[in-house]
Structure 1
Amino acid sequence: MSVVPGFTSAGGPWLATASLVAVLSYAAAVLRPRPGWGGPALLTAWLAQAVALLVHALGLGLSDPGMRFGFAPALSLTVWLVIAVYAVESRVLPLPTLRRGLAGLGVLSVLLAWGVPGDLRPGLSSPWAPLHWLTGLVAYSLFAIAVLHGMLTRRAERALRRHAGPASVGGLPLLRLEKLTFHFVAAGFALLTLTLVFGLVFTAWRWDHKTIFSMLAWAVFAGLLIGRHTLGWRGRIALRWLHGGALLLLLAYAGSRFVSEVLLHRAAGA
């Protein structure tokens, strides 16, 4: 009998085991039932999520093994990469306020990928397709990190205006945090540009809603970086552009895949 009905059957026992360990460990990182559990729990969850992603991608433990991909595993991999970047960054610039939020996102992303597995991909349109996907996912992750840093900056600025807090986050000065945010935006923009180039040159390029939203996101991020360097954009106006570009990028892949893999699939099976 399935311990979690509807989930273990979706990806086989190996995926169920790894996902369950990841969910429980992320939950422990959020709740922290004992002092000092946060870091080890987050690391355990991150490793278990990596196993779950690998098992899912290869279709291990299923009757029809093979490469799989979909919007939910893509979001899970994005969150996994965001936590990896956070772990590296925290070695130099500790930001403990992010840990519980990221662990919460980890719980949601693992459950989503566990319950809504991707489709079997028997063949690739191009041998460059995996590189196209990888650069895109890393770009999404960098923009997500930038959004999180921007939210911390905005919250600290509001506290400073109310004289309710220092001009720093976790000991990191606001100006330095703001610069770090734009470093992530610039790195994400470079990888997004590569992703679009790979898509244009090496894969089957189609002018669909995914391409249009991706191009719009690229234009928004380009405008943000130009505005930052020429007009000195910061604060609220910069965050609006950042959030707008991130939303367009989310709609470009996750939104379109959610419609095609979940809504249309259910409508077809009804």
Structure 2
Amino acid sequence: MNLASAVNENFANYSNYLIRSAMFVYALAFLAHLAEWVFGGRSKIAVQSAALTTTGPAAAAPAVAVRSAGGTTTLERPKVITRASASDRDMADGPGASGGNERADLYGRIAISFTALAWLLHVCGVAFRAASVQRAPWGNMYEFSTTFGAVAVGAYLLLLVLKKNVRWIGLFLTTSVLLDLGLALSVLYTSSEQLVPALHSYWLWIHVSCAIISGAVFYLAAVGTLLYLFRDHYEVAVLAGRAQNNRWGDIMRRLPSAASLDKFAYRMNALVFPLWTFTIIAGAIWAQAAWGHYWEWDPKETWSFITWVVYAGYLHARATAGWKGRKAAYLALIAFACFLFNYYGVNIFVTGKHSYAGV
């Protein structure tokens, strides 16, 4: 049987059109989210919310106590803790990207609507890619990238449906998905085609789908971790009496507190870590069926394991050593960097048994 004849070119073309259409709508969502951040934070509600965040004994400038001992006057200044753990602070969550501004909130709602529409187009594009070859639509880097973006956006929309306070991710998510799809179409694109015999296995559905879901949730956690570092720096400045009243400070005030961001990132990483563990186990089982060995220290296997070790170290440190705050955040970002290198770096620059997946 001619493998080329097994490809439905019409469905493949529909997939390309739908992915490009999704990019256009994601761009509209990006602009709406950008407008939400730009025009947000200018209402009385936002000003009051910012005041609640920065007032109180912890946020006030340290007072000077004067004590007289005989004929000597001593000035005592309270110690300012600049490296306090975020969980030790009593800082309120910010009012969100809109900052309580009704006009900005409207832009935010429009952005969510565009994101949901783009996601539907995106998912249909992935589905038509699968239908064009009658297999799982993640047999190469292009297909993995497009599916990865769809799963990341789907996870974000699911959190919104569950009434979680995550709309602050929207701008960063749409930016990332646009970059992801742009890179997929311009650099990683591969024509719809059948795979080599070793990849014709039900483990393709199980192993790679788990890797995609794990990576998508790791990505959301990484966004939360990165924003935690910025918000934590802002809160330290507030506690030290150096509140930033510029535009940057206004943006930081609208984010959730550092403690909330830290908790969000930790929960996301902890939630998906068992799935990443299963991903590696499933890959080993598939390797035994395809190559005759469970583990051969192939570059992809090695870096998957390194990623697992760093995430395991992060979770273990949080649970047993009491690592919270910046040290844990840096370790979480290193773990996600390992995941990214495992995907882009290993696939593009390193030759191994997984190389037949193609670019």
TM-score computed with the length of structure 2 as normaliser: 0.62
Q: Per the alignment, do residues 82 and 113 of structure 1 end up closer, same or farther by CA in structure 2, a change over 3 Å counting?
A: same
1:222-233 alignment, distance < 5 Å: 222-233=312-323
- Which one of the candidate residues 114, 118, 128 is aligned to 1:41? 114
For the pair shown, the structure with the greater C-alpha radius of gyration is 2
- Which one of the candidate residues 150, 165, 183 is aligned to 1:80? 150
Percent identity reads: 20
- Which one of the candidate residues 224, 229, 242 is aligned to 1:154? 229
Q: What is the distance in 1 between the residues matched to 2:28 and 2:316?
A: 42
Aligned residues: 247
Q: Is the 8 A contact 1:96 1:170 kept in 2?
A: no
Q: What is the distance in 2 between the residues matched to 1:76 and 1:127?
A: 20
For residue 66 of structure 1, report the CA deviation from its aligned partner: 4.7
Q: Per the alignment, do residues 218 and 260 of structure 1 end up closer, same or farther by CA in structure 2, a change over 3 Å counting?
A: closer
Q: Deviations over 1:233-263 (max 9, x none)?
A: 12221122111111112222332223479xx
Q: What is the distance in 1 between the residues matched to 2:232 and 2:117?
A: 34
2:4 corresponds to:
none
Structure 1 runs of 4+ off > 6 angstroms?
A: none
State the AA in 1 paired with 2:209.
L
1:97 corresponds to:
168
* CA root-mean-square deviation: 2.7
Q: What is the distance in 2 between the residues matched to 1:213 and 1:260?
A: 11
For residue 169 of structure 1, report the CA deviation from its aligned partner: 7.2
State the AA in 1 paired with 2:341.
L
Of 221-230 and 26-35, more deviation after overlay is shown by: 26-35
1:236 corresponds to:
326
Q: What is the distance in 1 between the residues matched to 2:164 and 2:12?
A: 39
Of 172-181 and 114-123, more deviation after overlay is shown by: 114-123
Q: What is the distance in 1 between the residues matched to 2:310 and 2:253?
A: 27
1:139-178 alignment, distance < 5 Å: 139-163=214-238, 164=244, 172-178=256-262
State the AA in 2 paired with 1:220.
V
2:273 corresponds to:
189
2:308 pairs with 1:218: yes
Q: State the SS of the aligned residue for 2:152.
A: helix
Q: What is the distance in 1 between the residues matched to 2:281 and 2:234?
A: 42
Q: Is the 8 A contact 1:224 1:241 kept in 2?
A: yes
TM-score computed with the length of structure 1 as normaliser: 0.80
Q: Please, which runs of 5 or more residues in structure 2 have no aligned partner?
A: 1-8, 36-105, 239-243
Q: Per the alignment, do residues 66 and 185 of structure 1 end up closer, same or farther by CA in structure 2, a change over 3 Å counting?
A: same
1:22 corresponds to:
22
Q: Is the 8 A contact 1:66 1:122 kept in 2?
A: no
1:5 corresponds to:
none
For residue 171 of structure 1, report the CA deviation from its aligned partner: 6.7
State the AA in 1 paired with 2:258.
L
For residue 144 of structure 1, report the CA deviation from its aligned partner: 0.8
Q: Deviations over 1:189-209 (max 9, x none)?
A: 211110111112233444211
